[in-house]
Amino acid sequence: MCGMTEFAKNWVGLKKTTGWLTQEEANFLFNKAAETKKLNGVVAEIGTFKGRSAIVMAVGGGTKVYCIDPMLPFKLDDGQPVGSPLADFKENLLIRGVADRVELIQKTSDEAAKEWTLPIRLLFIDGNHNYEYVRRDFDNFVPHVVRGGWVALHDTVGWAGPKKVVAESWADDKVIKVGEISAVQIM
Ligand SMILES: C[S@@+](CC[C@H](N)C(=O)[O-])C[C@H]1O[C@@H](n2cnc3c(N)ncnc32)[C@H](O)[C@@H]1O
């Protein structure tokens, strides 16, 4: 396995979890979860689905990931049902061996925001993609991100909501773009 990164070694298994996160995007989150381990703060994500990004960050960070998602069944834009996200999420955590490192907060992000107190070292926003929701997720949770920590939003190229929030919130030259992720380090 000489020369293989830790991520690449894990990706073979990680990619089996259903989701939209690409290998390049997953690699970014994996590394950020690992790099920020020294900071005081947790890893948190809004929008978990069947756990692909949560598992990536749990493996990379080696510490707890808080997942905020109401886990309601829904249909894709083409009308396809997605099955039971909660049951698949739980099974995927067990398969990947990170069930003890992932904590589900089974609420909408608006509900979770009312009770959230923990400092965050890596925040991944990938919940409801309509502008008003992404804006609130950003405004409610980014103030909890510690200095040196990272905020990443998914679907910031092809989706109007996340794209607009990024454009409103950060100067373009501060933003790191990896696939559909836009991310900034909080200084
Ligand atoms: C694009 S999927 C997340 C994909 C996941 N990050 C992955 O890597 O597979 C969006 C998720 O956001 C969740 N969601 C929708 N509205 C939400 C809300 N108001 N608060 C939190 N999560 C929400 C949905 O239940 C769905 O599981």
pLDDT band at 79 (very low <50, low <70, confident <90, very high): confident
Choose which residue among 11, 24, 48 to substitute to test ligand 1 binding: the one with the highest number of ligand atoms within 8 A of its C-beta: 48
Distance 124 CA to ligand 1 centre (A): 11
* End-to-end Cα distance, the chain: 36
Report the pLDDT averaged over residues 72-85. Answer: 82
Q: What is the mean pLDDT of residues 105-126?
A: 98
The pLDDT-based confidence of 48 (bands split at 50, 70, 90) is very high
Which residues form ligand 1's pocket by a CB distance below 6 Å? 19-21, 46-50, 52-53, 68-70, 72, 85, 108-109, 126-128, 133
Superfamily of domain covering 6-185: Vaccinia Virus protein VP39 (3.40.50.150)
User: pLDDT averaged over the chain?
Assistant: 94
For the chain, percent of residues with pLDDT exceeding 70? 98
Q: Which residue lies with its CA nearest to atom 15 of ligand 1?
A: 128
Residue 3 predicted with pLDDT over 60: no
